[in-house]
A and B are shown apart, each in its own frame.
Chain A
Amino acid sequence: MNATERGLSRRGLLKILGVASSGIAASRWLGPDVTMAQEPAPGKAIETFTGPGANLHWNSVGPYVTEPQKVPLLLLTDRPVQLETPRHYFRTAFTPNEAFYVRWHLEGIPNSVDLKNWKLQIEGNVSKTLALNLPELMHKFKPVSLAAVNQCSGNSRSRLQPRVPGAQWGNGAMGNAMWTGVRLRELLDMAGVKSGSLLVQFQGLETGPGPEGLGSNLFLKSLELGNPVLDECIVAYLMNGEPLPMLNGFPVRLVVPGYFATYWTKCLTWIRVLNAPDENFWMKTGYRVPDTRRGNTTPEDVKAGKVKTVPIERLPVRSFLISPDGSSRIPAGMNVTLRGIAFSGFGRVIRVEVSDDGGKSWMAAKLGEDLGAYSFRTWEASWTAKSPGRYSLAVRATDEKNNTQPDEPVWNPGGYLWNRIELQKIVVGNAS
């Protein structure tokens, strides 16, 4: 007689033993161990503000909210809408539209656009004023596609010391998408920019209740006509191959590759050629940075009126570790993959390095697919922590202009241009 026939095989027995000794079954035998949420580890909410020290969380600290066409995102403010993208959505080179961060300036945000009436207007100091509807934009011009990072000027503002007022973003006021649309240059050429013109101004459908002529009434941005970035700009009607979410600027938004998002006018409706300087608040006063290395200054110099400012422009080089995110321990000796993204507005990322000793020693990470100079570039590195303990992982990127992220903070009164090397604490546990 063999064991199988007796219905109690050795394997079966081992199975029973395994279950019996697993403790899961043991506690079932003893009745469920039900804990009332006295110490609700996963459910305990974090404070919804940080400071006066720096925000130490990767993201901002507001609650999750669901806005139209969006998955739950982190709320900064609801009117106007400002939403941050949670960290894990940056595992991929392209940020999903429904998770893409949102930042408006004025409370009058369109939530409907009638394409029967909507037209993109090219006006001002031009030979021929144009008014183009969406089918004309889609079919009269050759569509061009470009991967580009859209990052808010104030991304990571909550890192600054001393803290500055403004939207208290963590690191998630950024995203990368494949933008498809019409070259801005083609539109300008078709309208015919007259000689003596200085700037191109952009206006979207956003409005505020403030008095006419002030920054609380209209959000206006402009770029100099001599700026070579104009040749790279796209008026995009597709974002990752889909129509833009309303909160990201449906039906079209301006894409200014390598530049901060302040220039990427949402619901772009007026392109205006100016022959005089743009004196509006959002150019003359807002979104300006000290004319110094990395835009750095001090509160003392600001108070003394010593700081000369210029409009913010390109994205300084940055990189992020996305996973592991420090929310769980890693067993010692286990080989894990560190993953993240890097980008620069000054040219393609050519090197990403990681450190497990807080930046004392560095090793090269493997770069992912090159999706273009202005895209996120993914990277990964294999890492084994031999012994248990607390590790400080760091990541830094270098772009083709040889700009490398420094381990030094940035401070300016607007809270712009933060690109310090990021640190992530990781706890490595005993593996046996």
Chain B
Amino acid sequence: MKNGVRAIFLVMCGLVMAACLVYADLKKGYYSPAELGSLRQAAPIELLPDSNYQVSAYPVTAVDLAPGDGLQDIQIYCNTCHSPGYITMQPPLSAATWEAEVNKMNKTFGAAIPEENTQKIILYLQAHYTAETRKQ
């Protein structure tokens, strides 16, 4: 009987403690896959026991460029050699640095972008990707 009384007493104590003290908290959150940055797994590719060692095509990802005058020139000319991700990856660069970068593409790397389009590309980069102008 003594044990029974003690048990009831302890249960009472437990309930009081549960009401007064929270030792830990549990929160459940619903997130969209995008919010979690979730990535789906790539399917394995079929391999043949021949001499040609191949992997699947390297994925090309969408790059969110600022809308504006000159965007089309970027997409046509810059895209020839590299992804426009080269632009969005950069920290905000000065207007002079952007001009130098575009000129380097023409003079050093032989991009041969027509003069008019070169100017449009420079103005676009300066209008959206300097410390003063960058928004995204």
**A interface residues (Cβ-Cβ under 8 A, vs B):** 1-3, 6, 8, 13-14, 16-17, 20-28, 32-37, 40, 42-45, 48-52, 55, 62-69, 72, 75-81, 106-107, 109, 111-116, 158, 163, 165, 167-168, 208-211, 214-216, 246-247, 250-251, 281, 285
Decide if B88 touches A48 in the complex (CB within 8 Å): yes
User: What is the distance, in angstroms, from A161's C-beta to the closest C-beta of chain B?
Assistant: 10
Task: For B24, give its contact among A22, A68, A77 (CB under 8 Å).
Answer: A22
Task: For B23, give its contact among A22, A79, A281 (CB under 8 Å).
Answer: A22
User: What is the distance, in angstroms, from A298's C-beta to the closest C-beta of chain B?
Assistant: 15
Decide if A37 touches B35 in the complex (CB within 8 Å): yes
Which residues in chain B, 13-63, are within 8 Å of chain A measured between CB atoms? 13-15, 17-18, 21-32, 35-37, 39, 41-42, 51-61
Decide if A33 touches B39 in the complex (CB within 8 Å): no
B83 interfacial by beta-carbon distance below 8 Å: yes
User: What is the distance, in angstroms, from A84's C-beta to the closest C-beta of chain B?
Assistant: 11
Given known pairs A23-B24, A210-B109, A215-B109, the reply for A251 and B53 (CB within 8 Å) is yes
Task: For A285, give its contact among B28, B51, B108 (CB under 8 Å).
Answer: B108
Decide if A64 touches B37 in the complex (CB within 8 Å): yes
Bound-state CA distance A285–B23 (Å) is 63
Decide if A68 touches B58 in the complex (CB within 8 Å): yes
Bound-state CA distance A76–B54 (Å) is 23
Bound-state CA distance A77–B82 (Å) is 9
B10 interfacial by beta-carbon distance below 8 Å: yes
Task: For A210, give its contact among B28, B59, B111, B134 (CB under 8 Å).
Answer: B111
Decide if B60 touches A78 in the complex (CB within 8 Å): yes
Bound-state CA distance A87–B11 (Å) is 49
Decide if B54 touches A111 in the complex (CB within 8 Å): yes
Bound-state CA distance A62–B90 (Å) is 11
Given known pairs A20-B18, A52-B91, A163-B93, the reply for A45 and B37 (CB within 8 Å) is yes
Q: Which residue of A lies closest to B80 (CB)?
A: A209
Residues of A within 8 A of B90 (CB): 49, 51, 165, 168
Bound-state CA distance A50–B30 (Å) is 29
Residues of B within 8 A of A23 (CB): 21-26
Bound-state CA distance A193–B103 (Å) is 40
Decide if A210 touches B35 in the complex (CB within 8 Å): no
Task: For B85, give its contact among A78, A114, A115 (CB under 8 Å).
Answer: A78
Q: Which residue of A lies closest to B9 (CB)?
A: A13
Given A49-B90, A111-B55, 4 more contacts at CB 8 Å?
Answer: A49-B92, A65-B39, A216-B81, A251-B53
Bound-state CA distance A246–B52 (Å) is 12
Bound-state CA distance A263–B20 (Å) is 66
Could you say which of A163, A167, A281 has the most chain B C-beta atoms within 10 Å of its C-beta? A163
Task: For B35, give its contact among A21, A44, A51, A107 (CB under 8 Å).
Answer: A44
Bound-state CA distance A114–B53 (Å) is 6
Decide if B53 touches A77 in the complex (CB within 8 Å): no
User: What is the distance, in angstroms, from A237's C-beta to the closest C-beta of chain B?
Assistant: 12
Decide if A168 touches B25 in the complex (CB within 8 Å): no
Bound-state CA distance A19–B88 (Å) is 51
Residues of B within 8 A of A69 (CB): 55
Given known pairs A66-B39, A79-B60, the reply for A163 and B14 (CB within 8 Å) is no
Bound-state CA distance A76–B61 (Å) is 11
B71 interfacial by beta-carbon distance below 8 Å: no
Given known pairs A21-B21, A35-B29, A75-B61, the reply for A211 and B110 (CB within 8 Å) is yes
Could you say which of B58, B81, B82 has the most chain A C-beta atoms within 10 Å of its C-beta? B58
Decide if A112 touches B54 in the complex (CB within 8 Å): yes
Task: For A43, give its contact among B31, B93, B97 (CB under 8 Å).
Answer: B31
Q: Which residue of B lies closest to A38 (CB)?
A: B29
